[in-house]
Chain A
Amino acid sequence: MTDSEVYFTLLRVSAAQTLRSAGITAAKPSVVDAFTDLLARYLTLLGTTTRNFAESGGRTQAELIDARMAIEHVGLLRPMNIFTDPDDNDTEAVDALVEWFRGPQAADMRRVAGHAEKEGQVGKSDDWLGATKKLSEKRNTTV
């Protein structure tokens, strides 16, 4: 398998988990592939936009601020404040995003992905790849 195929296959697992947590149980493989492709392109878009913002700021390494601006640019943060007022402390968009991550949909996605959910702990989850590998081994050897 070439490198890109490996990455695509891994991403497909994640895409399938996302769809599963949304309630879809089965689909045609071409649909899953198309969805995975979308996911890949979206992530690439986020990445390139972040890089562009960083370079505009004269940096070669992207920082958090670049990522945030990219997320806003791409339209992930709603409502978007076009007229940035330095005194404006409106964090409604970011709050909405954080609330989503704490919300039931994200929790369900974590459950499907096999992450243990601890009470009150929201922050960083385990390394997804390591957890998926462990899960895959467990499921494939105990069958």
Chain B
Amino acid sequence: MSLWNGDTIKDVSESVGVANLNEDVAKNLAMDVEYRIHQVLQEALKFMRHARRTTLGTQDISNALRVLDVEPLYGYESARPLRFGEASLGQAQPIFYVEDDEVDFEKLINAPLPKVPRDVTFTGHWLAIEGVQPAIPQNPTPSEAARLSETTPKGASSNTTLSAASTLNPTTNETVTIKPLVKHVLSKELQLYFERISTSITDESTTDTIRNAALASLRKDPGLHQLLPYFVQFISEKTTHGLRSLFTLTQMMSLTHALLENDSFFIEPYVSSLIPPILTCLIGKHLGSSSSSSSSSSSDPHSQTPAHYALRDFSASLLKLVCKRFGDSSHTLKPRLTRTCLKHFLDPAKPLPTHYGSIIGLAAIGGREAVRVLILPNTKLYEKVIHPEIEDEGPRKSEAEMCLSALVGVIKQLEEEEEGGGWKGKNGVPPIMPGASAEEVKAQLIGILGELVGEEVWKLRREALVKAVIEAGGMKV
């Protein structure tokens, strides 16, 4: 009749102290027990349902007992799971008991304190910027991402194409782990535009007006955003393959300039891909064809057309533009560029045009500070490189002279940015500086800058510049 056995009731009554219990009494008690348990369970289920759960917990039972005015059961709060051990009575009748070994208090008291759980919070982070997932700690690393994408079921279409591909080519050893490519849908119009522009810019036979028109269109037109990655790739490709052709390089730099000028492009994520071509055009060892210039020796493989200096100047100004616009948003941009330029400047094994490029590059990136801190201390040392070339009328004299003028040019920056224009002495004689004679000053200047550069700077007759140089040089000593 009831779920509860009379034997159970008898066992409980024995444990309480009532030795013999009548059968009927036991049965009645069993029915009553069942009723009470049902009652408690119903209240507990109500609690559970109101708490929007589907698992009944000890807390629900406690609350049910509280509501029914029954003395609570103590000790069921703990989260430790109850372990049941088995003991057999001998007749293959197992008795289950709660495994509950005694525990020493010292251990309990000295046990490490539990970790306090963190509160629920939420923050935001960039999942992907312009389709690229930044490598911040909140994003999965590439290895994790690969593992995750393996476990997710691939789309039905890709499966069929892969299987079709493998069945069609049973002989080829195509690996089946081809990643499905993301198709980038470009309108016919845009594709046409891209082709036209790229061919017109790189084609030497087109006239200037057409090329300028193309560049102007790139500079002004909105709505070209989809083509940006293609243009960037185009620039990188042409730069790496077109090192022989000065024309190509110049055109690529103009193209970069046009892209940078366009307001409607969000070019920040592509800056790091644009920098390498610019740097190549700035400090590349050998820009342009090796055809000789007019007067220098035609058999010298090192001579290059002087037009590449214009290219390097242009690249330096582009670099300046990039640094001005993006130097603040990226912490590593300026240091990286500075490091590259400095490395090339200080490497005597590199050809002189590289030095030229790195000098003007450093000045473009860092302005007055870079000149003061990076170039000035090394000028005297650099003397040693260009002095022999100029003195001995070596084959690289013109290059060395260009480097010299570059140095002087950037040193001039030291003064120009301070006061905007120097003040020439009267009658072409440098004004006497307080407390020092002209000769001493000149000697000091030469001491800081080295002979060649010092002479040039002295010839400029700009007092403020000389003062600035001596000040800066004085700091270093």
Contacts and interface: CB of A to CB of B under 8 A. Distances in A.
A139 interface: yes
A21 to B, nearest CB: 10
Nearest to B104: A26
Given A10-B113, A33-B75, A34-B74, A28 B103 contact: yes
Interface stretch (A35-43, A53-61, A115-123): A35-43
Nearest to A20: B105
Residue of B76, B78, B103, B106 with most partner-chain A CB within 10 A: B78
B150 interface: no
Contact of B98 (A6, A20, A30): A30
Contacts of A34: 74-75
A70 interface: no
A136 interface: yes
A133 B113 contact: yes
Chain A contact-residue range equals 35 or more
A26 B103 contact: yes
Given A1-B115, A27-B102, A136-B112, A8 B75 contact: no
Contacts of B109: 13, 16-17, 20, 112
Nearest to B75: A34
A25 B77 contact: no
* Among B102, B108, B109, B117, residue most surrounded by chain A Cβ atoms (within 10 Å): B109
Interface residues of B, number: 26
A89 interface: no
Given A16-B105, A16-B109, A29-B80, A37 B114 contact: no
B115 A19 contact: no
B72, B75, B100, B104, most chain A CB atoms within 10 A: B75
A121 to B, nearest CB: 24
Given A20-B105, A26-B102, A26-B104, A10 B78 contact: no
Given A3-B117, A136-B113, A24 B78 contact: no
Contacts of B101: 28-29
Contacts of B116: 6
B103 A29 contact: yes
Contacts of A20: 105-106, 109
B110 A32 contact: no
Say whether chain A's binding surface is mostly helix, strand, loop, or mixed: helix
Contact of B105 (A5, A27, A30, A33): A27
B79 interface: yes
Contact of B74 (A16, A38, A136): A38
Contacts of A4: 77
Given A24-B105, A27-B102, A112-B109, A37 B117 contact: no
Given A8-B78, A33-B78, A34-B75, A26 B105 contact: yes
B76 to A, nearest CB: 7
Interface of A: 1-6, 8-10, 12-13, 16-17, 19-20, 24-38, 40-41, 112, 132-133, 135-136, 139-140
A32 B109 CA distance: 12
Given A9-B114, A16-B108, A112-B109, A28 B74 contact: no
Given A33-B75, A37-B75, A140 B112 contact: yes
B104 A5 contact: no
A38 B72 CA distance: 10
Interface string B64-103: 0000000010111111100000000000000000101111
Interface string B157-170: 00000000000000
Contacts of A24: 105
A33 B77 contact: yes
Contacts of B105: 16, 19-20, 24-27
Contact of B77 (A16, A37, A112): A37
B117 A8 contact: no
Interface in B101-146: 101-106, 108-117
B100 A36 contact: no
Given A33-B78, A37-B77, A1 B108 contact: no
Contacts of B103: 26-29, 32
Contacts of B74: 33-35, 37-38, 41
A77 to B, nearest CB: 24
11 contacts: A1-B117, A3-B117, A5-B114, A8-B77, A12-B108, A13-B113, A25-B105, A26-B104, A29-B80, A30-B75, A37-B77
B302 to A, nearest CB: 69
Given A28-B102, A140-B112, 15 more contacts: A2-B79, A3-B117, A8-B78, A10-B114, A13-B111, A20-B106, A25-B105, A27-B103, A30-B100, A33-B76, A33-B78, A33-B80, A36-B75, A37-B75, A40-B77
B110 A140 contact: yes
